[in-house]
Amino acid sequence: MTTSPMTTTENRAVRLLARATGLVTLILLVAGGLVTSKGAGMAVPDWPTSFGYNMFTFPVSAWIGPIAFEHVHRLLGSTVGLLTVALAVTVWRKDPRGWMRALAVVAVVTVIIQGVLGGLRVIHNAQLLAVIHGSFAHGFFALMIAMALSTTRLWEEANASPIPPERAAGLRGLAVTAAALVYGQILLGARLRHFSGSVMLHLLGAVLVVTAVVAARQRIAMASPRSPAARMAFVFQHMIWLQLLLGFIAYFAKMKAPIPEFAPWPAVMLTVAHQVNGALVFATSISTALLVFRATAANLSSEPAAAEPTAGAGA
């Protein structure tokens, strides 16, 4: 058996950098959620400077109240950008997989766009750009998780244990549909968070997401109950239940504290937890879809070889 590129020690740097970038991105999402929940989006009114200072030399003594939330968010964003560039360089040096190198380039372009979106949101004080910036962040996080997933044993196991073709019909479509509905729900949630409006559309989206996720999880479990895709789908479904619970609690907490600047910390943290768990749900949906594609693609490539003994036996 040929050793996978991701199991060799020379690619340890890729694994570590992919996971580190994903972790810091998750922390950045928490910081971004705090900025929105505390109404600190315009606490620092200029960009790329901070009150005229270079972002990295802005005095710590000025990190007070809402300014601290927004400035730490900017510094974390810069850290994610540097880690993404380092990851891309390492992938191109160490990882021979062409699609992984392409993802590394996409990641660098994406993190640059995300930084510019954040800056334009400040310059123009535009709520619509805040919605786009926040939603785009979820997509970038999912990309980091996908790159990290491709360096794990779970990824190799999905290739080594393909889903039988007679059980694989429709799995890809279900997995992609569930992921697309989750992202649509993220967009609806971001709109609701930044603009006033009815919560009913968001609730309707939740019903659609739950239906798709339960259906996908059941079908994947029936097709291959012990596969990596089935295990990931199990996590996916239970994270959806957690997201529903957080959503209801956060909604009622926000009703009692509608003004962000004066919201008590329990209400703030519940809202941020709902937002960040949404990013984790989307990343898990993408991971489930990728593992399904990996297992079914491996099966298709091995199908002709498996058919030869059968033909010989019947001759």
Burial of 157 (0-12, 13-18, 19+ CB in 10 A): middle
Return d(Cα 134, Cα 36) in angstroms, integer. 10
Q: How far apart are CA 122 and CA 55, in angstroms?
A: 14
Going by C-alpha positions, the residue among 117, 266, 100 that lies closest to residue 190 is: 117
Do residues 23 and 139 make contact, with C-beta atoms less than 8 angstroms apart?
A: no
Q: Check whether the bond before 48 is cis (ω within 30° of 0).
A: yes
- How many angstroms separate the CA atoms of 78 and 39, rounded? 21
Q: What's the pLDDT tens digit per position in 241-280?
A: 999 999 988 888 776 666 666 567 788 899 899 999 999 9
The DSSP 8-state label assigned to residue 225 in this structure reads T
pLDDT band at residue 298 under the 50/70/90 scheme: low
pTM (2 d.p.): 0.88
What does the block give as tokens for 211?
């239906």
138-181: per-residue pLDDT in tens? Answer: 999 999 999 999 999 999 998 887 888 878 888 999 999 999 99
Distance CA 160, CA 298 (A): 8
Phi, psi for 301 (deg, rounded to 5): -70, -25
CA distance 169 to 126: 45
Cα–Cα distance, 209 to 148 (Å, whole number): 25
